[in-house]
Structure 1
Amino acid sequence: MSASAPICLERGDIQGGILRAYGKRGYPRARFLLFHVARAEAGRWFLEQLRPRVTPALDWAEGGESVKPGQMTRPEVTLNLAFTFRGLEALGVPLRTLKGFPEAFADGMAQRDAVLGDDVGPNRIRFWDPVWHGEPGRAGVHVLVMLNALIAAPDVMTARLAKVTAEVVGLAGETAGGVMLLEGHRGADPRWQELAALWGPQPDGRMGPLASEHFGFNDAIGDPVFDGQYPDGAERDKCRGQGAVDGCGNWRPLATGEFILGWPDESQEVAGAPMPLDFSRNGTFFAYRKLHQDLASWDVWIESRALMLKEVWGLASLAEARATLKAKMAGRWEDGVPLVKAPTFADWQAARARMAEMTRAEQTAFLTEFGYASDREGRMCPKTAHIRRANTRDALDPLWDAKDGKGRLGSALNNRRRILRRGLPYGGRDDPDGEHGIVLLAYCADLFRQFEFVQQQWMNHGLDFDAGNDGCPIVGAHREGARFVIASSDPAKPPFVAGGLKPFVTTRGGDYFFQPSMTALRMIGQGLVDPT
């Protein structure tokens, strides 16, 4: 169980972008730069020059307000740092400390390709952006510098990012080869990875960032809520639908230690971590995944299967069939309305009308507060839909057969598999080189137990969902003959088998990173890491 009293996290010691996504806080543009450390002392100097500019997880003073205790002025560009295992080694972190890191992090993402499905078809590492290859003659990735720009006109955000980029790259240049900017990103500029929320008309008619991604779904709706994540214990209200469920309709925040090192997790243990404790406390891990979206294959496949679905289920129009097929694959309609609350196209239209009359808080609750106990057979939301895999909610409760619901346990299995999803889209639908997708940062305290388990067992296999080896219809690493079976909510209609799934989402690069606390950044930069 979670602690009864609110947890007060040391926000000034935690790097920003972890507790709350920058994209949701008014930073819709980003630029990620990768560096290689050739000399430890140069790398530490570089880090020490950047450290005063690193953005912590403090709250921001808004709209010209005076800065209060525990707040900081909102930056025009945030700056955050993370390191690969080899990067920490190159910076001179002692071997005894390095030995305390988990095996998955030490291996790195490329070495775990068979676990993640990156050894299948177009996911294979040879298709990754060259910057990630780490092959002989190419310097390996050591340091990730993440820049996020405050919302403004697109040209203003570009100028802000360019200014800070020049400063960071200039510092690396002062090391005379001791720290090198790595090139080899596919896209407009091979020197860095550009990211940007999709841009389009807002409800008031003005242009601005959208919540959707390239396939058209509103994204990052059901992120976990955990103890201490918000000031003044606000997560107690925000956790409904996004925390841990006990099976009886009661919600609580997840334990802090599932996402931040040095805090108790769902088992009420503080996980083992590298020594000294100050080095690992308030840090975390994330999997950086550049995920390419094959929009051409997606469009063709959706259109052809929607035509079939229209005929098999006798739907009124191709538009209804197209929207229904996509919703069944995702588990939500395009605007985020969950299928368990609106299983048919008509239900969705009615739900949209109701939502138009709701407050912002009521809309959030409507989109997030639900379970699957009322849909055990997956007739409303298919068992293998994307969101039902990513967050199983109450579906894996071993006692969800309890007639009155009072004997249900919730699902410790699900609670210990949650990840924080951060990141932004990259590229555009009209990119001539097909550069469009999402850069996903999957934050968690245990890469193996959380990220890798979900990726392997829930996204690429279907045993927990009575679907054998059928993977997620959207992000699964599909092999020849892959299919998606959709049960009908109308018993008079047959199930629909959508065959010939393509690998719509494929990996184009990435690695595992450690994002240390502000304290640990100082220890690394000043060469003060002492495991004894």
Structure 2
Amino acid sequence: MTVALDLADIQGNILSAYGRLGFPKGRFLVLHVHDAKAGRSVIENLRPRVTTAVRWPSRHEPPAQGQVTQLRPEVTLNIAFTFHGLIAMGVPIRTLRGMPDEFIDGMPARADILCDNFPDDISTTWDPVWCPSSDSARRIHVLISLNAQMQPDGTAVAQLDELTRQIIGLCAASGGVSVLEGHRGADPRWQDLSALLQQQKDGSYAPIPVEHFGFVDAIGDPVFEGQMPPARAATAMIGQGALMPDQSWRPLATGEFLLGHPDEAQEIAGAAMPLDFSYNGTFIAYRKLHQNIAAFRTFLTGTATRFAAVMGMPLDEAQATLMAKIAGRWGDGVPLVVAPTFADWMTFRERRVVAVQTKDAAAQAVLDRAMVDFTFADDPLGAKCPLGSHLRRANTRDMLDPTLSDVRERGGSVLNNRRRILRRGLPYGAAEAEEHGIVMLATCASLFRQFEFVQQQWMQYGLDFNAGNDTCPIIGNHDDEAKFVIPADPASGKPPFICDRIPQLVETRGGDYFFVPSMTALRQISTGTVDPT
């Protein structure tokens, strides 16, 4: 039975990735609440501006009969709280004691679990605003998320700066809330984000879905029950939902991403009291990730030269292939499982060019589906897509199915379904600037079972992928002996290739755990009416 969610009760950044919906600019502010009454006043003033999950009218087709819509804003606004932020807002301890341990601890306290104290302690590498401090007045309590539409010249709409000024002014006038400074970047009062931009023939700029290393990003986000209209979900769940033993797809259970709903185990996780305080809320892990672009390019150039010599291929082909083997996808997002060789990739791209030129919608749909509709059943040794590549670590699909070799008894993606996370975020900084990378919001119902498991077990260890101590070649921790093995195709007659001395490509620059309340709970918080009895 299709789940019908109360979209007006859910904050919009849970169900939707704003960057894909015409909001390529972003900004985060973090607040400290000195006085509960002042904090509640600020949140109550911002609450009417919060963007919910009620859908906007499509820019391509009119809404269905009876469908409720809201106006598309110039700037979206969403609010989340740390555990200590909920205490500062006056939420009763009886309510908060039902919160999960990892959320109560907070991300900085779990840096060792997340392998973040590498290559140096977070106290020296994280942005000052995120670093643990003995000064209680520096503790982060509230996260304000803003996403903005863009002007043709590539800058954010003016409403982003205007809304920022209003928030800062509101905090100052409250007498009990402060905007915390200490973000590395153009302005220490906030963290700015922007999709990478490409100049058009008319001189204007358009956002492109590419991150600083050059990979197309944000492909294959999970699809769950109630997230979108049934007709759209029927298509979107293919390759992005749960894989069944008969190799069909279904949406993941709502409770994997929204609290108060049944999850994949048909359980409803323990929650704070009253029950509607957690219902339709979720948790996010805020992660600021610095990308070492120069180190990546140097490593890629040097390793591709050796790779080309061993494999007997041109240098440009070797470099593109090496990037694909590390990521699990070609630079434009085409999966290696779908196009295992450079020639296959060129053929795939040519088919897309022809489909676009001839306006063949059916052919385009088939190619789009191939980007996400694949499994690893026919590549058990990683000859097409290496077992330790980023793609196979981030979403193992059917790879960990213990019955994978038996086509009659396959279990689908059961072991993977409990580890999925929604990824939200945008790049920050320019490649030529000192500060550049991506801010990711990992959204899930269980920070421990989903985010922390993937970050620690799948990104920082290799045992589940028969890779020993090898970590993820992109976001893993790399010491002087870091390596990545590219298995050989048995039919090629070539040996496996070992990428050695991989530099540290990604480093955390800060983060924390936040609770994203429903609109109902947000009103309870802002009015001080949380009653756990």
Identify whether the pair has TM-score above 0.5, normalized to the shorter chain.
yes
Task: Identify which of 27, 30, 34 aligns with 2:30.
Answer: 34
Cα separation, 1, equivalents of 2:100 and 2:128: 26
Q: Contact 1:226–1:243 at 8 Å: present in 2 too?
A: yes
Once the 2 structures are TM-superposed, how far is the Cα of residue 341 of structure 1 from its aligned partner? 1.1
Once the 2 structures are TM-superposed, how far is the Cα of residue 70 of structure 1 from its aligned partner? 1.9
* Structure-2 residue corresponding to 1:57: 53
Q: Contact 1:125–1:509 at 8 Å: present in 2 too?
A: no
Q: Which secondary structure does the structure 2 equivalent of 1:484 belong to?
A: strand
Cα separation, 1, equivalents of 2:405 and 2:200: 44
Q: Which secondary structure does the structure 2 equivalent of 1:60 belong to?
A: coil
Greater CA drift, 250-259 or 123-132: 123-132
Cα separation, 1, equivalents of 2:505 and 2:28: 24
Q: How does 1:119-130 map to 2 (within 5 A)?
A: 119-122=117-120, 124-130=122-128
Cα separation, 2, equivalents of 1:78 and 1:346: 43
Cα separation, 2, equivalents of 1:523 and 1:249: 44
Task: Identify which of 76, 79, 82 aligns with 2:80.
Answer: 82
Once the 2 structures are TM-superposed, how far is the Cα of residue 520 of structure 1 from its aligned partner? 0.4
Cα separation, 2, equivalents of 1:412 and 1:29: 36
- The AA in structure 2 aligned to 1:88 is L
* Structure-1 residue corresponding to 2:330: 333
Greater CA drift, 158-167 or 351-360: 351-360
Cα separation, 1, equivalents of 2:162 and 2:204: 27
Q: Contact 1:488–1:496 at 8 Å: present in 2 too?
A: yes
Distance 1:297 1:244, change over 3 A: same
Q: How does 1:420-499 map to 2 (within 5 A)?
A: 420-431=422-433, 434-489=434-489, 490-499=491-500
* Structure-2 residue corresponding to 1:146: 145
Q: Contact 1:87–1:142 at 8 Å: present in 2 too?
A: yes
Once the 2 structures are TM-superposed, how far is the Cα of residue 385 of structure 1 from its aligned partner? 0.4
Once the 2 structures are TM-superposed, how far is the Cα of residue 246 of structure 1 from its aligned partner? 1.8
Once the 2 structures are TM-superposed, how far is the Cα of residue 205 of structure 1 from its aligned partner? 8.8
Q: Does 1:344 align with 2:356?
A: no
Q: Deviations over 1:188-220 (max 9, x none)?
A: 111100000000146999630001000000001
* Structure-1 residue corresponding to 2:197: 199
- The AA in structure 2 aligned to 1:153 is P
Once the 2 structures are TM-superposed, how far is the Cα of residue 62 of structure 1 from its aligned partner? 4.3
Q: Contact 1:132–1:509 at 8 Å: present in 2 too?
A: yes
Cα separation, 2, equivalents of 1:241 and 1:303: 33
Q: Does 1:279 align with 2:277?
A: yes
Once the 2 structures are TM-superposed, how far is the Cα of residue 363 of structure 1 from its aligned partner? 3.2
Q: Contact 2:247–2:412 at 8 Å: present in 1 too?
A: no
Once the 2 structures are TM-superposed, how far is the Cα of residue 366 of structure 1 from its aligned partner? 1.2
Q: Deviations over 1:444-499 (max 9, x none)?
A: 00000000000001000011000111100000012221100001224400111000
Q: Which secondary structure does the structure 2 equivalent of 1:59 belong to?
A: coil
Q: Which secondary structure does the structure 1 equivalent of 2:15 belong to?
A: coil
* Structure-1 residue corresponding to 2:165: 166
* Structure-2 residue corresponding to 1:180: 178
Task: Identify which of 83, 90, 93 aligns with 2:91.
Answer: 93
Distance 1:350 1:340, change over 3 A: same
Greater CA drift, 319-328 or 55-64: 55-64
Task: Identify which of 125, 131, 138 aligns with 1:133.
Answer: 131
Q: Does 1:320 align with 2:321?
A: no
Q: Which secondary structure does the structure 1 equivalent of 2:386 belong to?
A: coil
Once the 2 structures are TM-superposed, how far is the Cα of residue 112 of structure 1 from its aligned partner? 0.7
Q: Contact 2:151–2:157 at 8 Å: present in 1 too?
A: no
Structure 2 unpaired stretches of 5+: none
Once the 2 structures are TM-superposed, how far is the Cα of residue 501 of structure 1 from its aligned partner? 1.0
Count the aligned residue pairs. Answer: 522
Task: Identify which of 250, 253, 256 aligns with 1:255.
Answer: 253
Q: Deviations over 1:387-415 (max 9, x none)?
A: 1000000101111111xx23111132100
* Structure-2 residue corresponding to 1:508: 509
TM-score normalised by the chain length of structure 2:
0.95
Q: Contact 1:261–1:281 at 8 Å: present in 2 too?
A: yes
Distance 1:336 1:123, change over 3 A: farther
Task: Identify which of 379, 383, 389 aligns with 1:379.
Answer: 383
Greater CA drift, 189-198 or 158-167: 158-167
Cα separation, 2, equivalents of 1:226 and 1:344: 33
Distance 1:19 1:189, change over 3 A: same
Cα separation, 2, equivalents of 1:525 and 1:422: 26
Q: Contact 1:390–1:459 at 8 Å: present in 2 too?
A: yes
Cα separation, 1, equivalents of 2:100 and 2:222: 23
- The AA in structure 1 aligned to 2:222 is P
Once the 2 structures are TM-superposed, how far is the Cα of residue 155 of structure 1 from its aligned partner? 6.1
* Structure-2 residue corresponding to 1:227: 225
Once the 2 structures are TM-superposed, how far is the Cα of residue 233 of structure 1 from its aligned partner? 5.0
Cα separation, 2, equivalents of 1:140 and 1:276: 26
Cα separation, 2, equivalents of 1:398 and 1:155: 49
Cα separation, 2, equivalents of 1:65 and 1:392: 38
Greater CA drift, 155-164 or 71-80: 155-164
Cα separation, 2, equivalents of 1:460 and 1:232: 37
Q: Which secondary structure does the structure 2 equivalent of 1:17 belong to?
A: helix
Cα separation, 2, equivalents of 1:140 and 1:51: 22
Distance 1:122 1:503, change over 3 A: farther
Distance 1:104 1:284, change over 3 A: same
Cα separation, 1, equivalents of 2:413 and 2:331: 27
Once the 2 structures are TM-superposed, how far is the Cα of residue 276 of structure 1 from its aligned partner? 0.6
- The AA in structure 2 aligned to 1:460 is Q
Q: Contact 2:150–2:157 at 8 Å: present in 1 too?
A: no
Cα separation, 2, equivalents of 1:119 and 1:134: 13
- The AA in structure 2 aligned to 1:487 is P
Once the 2 structures are TM-superposed, how far is the Cα of residue 10 of structure 1 from its aligned partner? 0.6
* Structure-1 residue corresponding to 2:213: 215
Cα separation, 2, equivalents of 1:230 and 1:104: 30
Structure 1 unpaired stretches of 5+: none
Once the 2 structures are TM-superposed, how far is the Cα of residue 139 of structure 1 from its aligned partner? 1.0
Distance 1:511 1:469, change over 3 A: same
Q: Does 1:19 align with 2:23?
A: no
Distance 1:311 1:513, change over 3 A: same
Cα separation, 2, equivalents of 1:231 and 1:470: 41
Q: Contact 1:118–1:125 at 8 Å: present in 2 too?
A: no
Distance 1:114 1:352, change over 3 A: same
Cα separation, 1, equivalents of 2:155 and 2:221: 30
Q: Which secondary structure does the structure 2 equivalent of 1:32 belong to?
A: strand
* Structure-2 residue corresponding to 1:297: 295
Q: Contact 2:243–2:413 at 8 Å: present in 1 too?
A: yes
Q: Which secondary structure does the structure 1 equivalent of 2:524 belong to?
A: helix
Cα separation, 1, equivalents of 2:464 and 2:527: 47
Q: Which secondary structure does the structure 2 equivalent of 1:18 belong to?
A: helix
Cα separation, 2, equivalents of 1:135 and 1:492: 57
Q: Contact 1:6–1:233 at 8 Å: present in 2 too?
A: no
- The AA in structure 2 aligned to 1:398 is P
Cα separation, 2, equivalents of 1:282 and 1:204: 44
Q: Deviations over 1:157-205 (max 9, x none)?
A: 25221011011111101112x0000000000111100000000146999
Q: Contact 2:282–2:443 at 8 Å: present in 1 too?
A: yes
- The AA in structure 2 aligned to 1:373 is A
* Structure-1 residue corresponding to 2:528: 527
- The AA in structure 2 aligned to 1:140 is R
Q: Which secondary structure does the structure 2 equivalent of 1:23 belong to?
A: helix
